[in-house]
Structures are given as C-alpha cells and as structure tokens.
Amino acid sequence: MKRTKMTMLALAGAFLLASCGETKKENEIEDGAMPMQNEMHMEETDDHDMGEMSANLDDGQSGAVGFRDEKMGEAYQHYMHIKTALVNTNAEEAQSGGKMLAEVLNKVENNTEALEAAQTIGNSQNINEQRTAFEDLSMAMEEMLRGSLRSGEVYKQFCPMAFDGKGAYWLSASKEIRNPYYGDKMLKCGRVEGTITGS
C-alpha cells in the first residue's frame, strides 16, 4: 500500500514537471474551433497597457540589437511590440503593432509572408487568430533577420505545447522565456532553440 502511494506520488510529480514547469490551468473553456489548447482561451480584458507589458516582458529591446538597414530595425521593433502584446494577451495592442509592422514592411523587399502575417494581425481583434498569424510572422522574420544584424543577438525560442502540441517558434532579444502563445497561462513555457548573431 505504501509503495503504491509512493508510485502514484512520483507519477503525479513527473506529470506536473512535464507540463512545462507551469501548473496553472485556470478558466478552461471548451471550444474545438479555436486553434490553441484550452489554456489559451482567456477572456480579453482592456486593463493592459504598454507599461504593464514592459514590466511583464524582459526582452532587452533597447540597444541590444543593431541592424544594417534602418527599416529592418523598425520592423524588428514592431515585431517585438506584437510579441509583447501577445505575451500580455492584449489583442488591441497586437492589432496596433500589426498595422505599424505592415506599414514598414511595405517599404522592405522580399517580405511577402511577413507582410501577409502582419496584415492578418493588424486586421484582427481575435487573440487566437493573431497568435496563429504570429507563428507565420516569426518564421518569415527569422529569414529576414539572417544577415541583417550588425550587432547583438536574437534568440529563436520554441514552445512545444502551442497549437495542441504541434509547437511554435518566436524570436526574442533575451534568453528569458516570455511565451506569446500562452501569455500568463504558461509564461515561461519554452526553450531557446537557436541564435541569430550580428557580424
């Protein structure tokens, strides 16, 4: 009996550790039409602002990364704006960032995928649609950033649990994980998978 209890406790502990270090699973909503796991379905609130976002997201944005092209630097900053908004589950700010990024990308060559994803984010007020488009945006921005950095590092990060276990990438100027696909539901779920460096 005692051995069975110990085995059950060990299994429960392993399960908790396997869930990406986060044990919060609040406000679960059943909705098969949404692209994210149930933890993603949070009520959208209007009580987020950029001040709260920068407090929630340590991304090392100011001065950490230098670009060969000014427009790419602007695009990167707007990308980070969108990421910060998604970390904070703020659809309104993500939409604003998407519009600004699309405006800059109209002046950058070879950016079709990034432009389409930015426009999708800028035209949507649905956080799950924005997060889905953000995955495409992140992959496109990674390609655009390679060879564009003059100095600093950008980290390619990965959440294995996003999109019902399919997983998804994003870019960050900090090794610190701030998950844009789950926000505060699984803020630190993810890992660094690679580094884009300046030369």
The enclosing H or E element of 157 equals strand 153-159
**What are the structure tokens assigned to 8, written together?**
């059950």
Q: What is the pLDDT of residues 123-163, one digit of tens each?
A: 999 999 999 999 999 999 999 998 899 999 999 999 999 99
65 touches 173 (CB < 8 A)? yes
Evaluate whether residue 146 is within a structural domain: yes
Number of domains in the chain: 1
Evaluate whether residue 189 is within a structural domain: yes
| pTM > 0.85 | no
Domain limits at 148? 36-197
Evaluate whether residue 53 is within a structural domain: yes
Evaluate whether residue 1 is within a structural domain: no
Q: What is the pLDDT of residues 20-63, one digit of tens each?
A: 544 343 333 333 333 343 333 333 333 334 344 444 444 444 44
Q: How far apart are CA 135 and CA 116, in angstroms?
A: 12
Number of C-beta neighbours around residue 25 at 10 A: 12
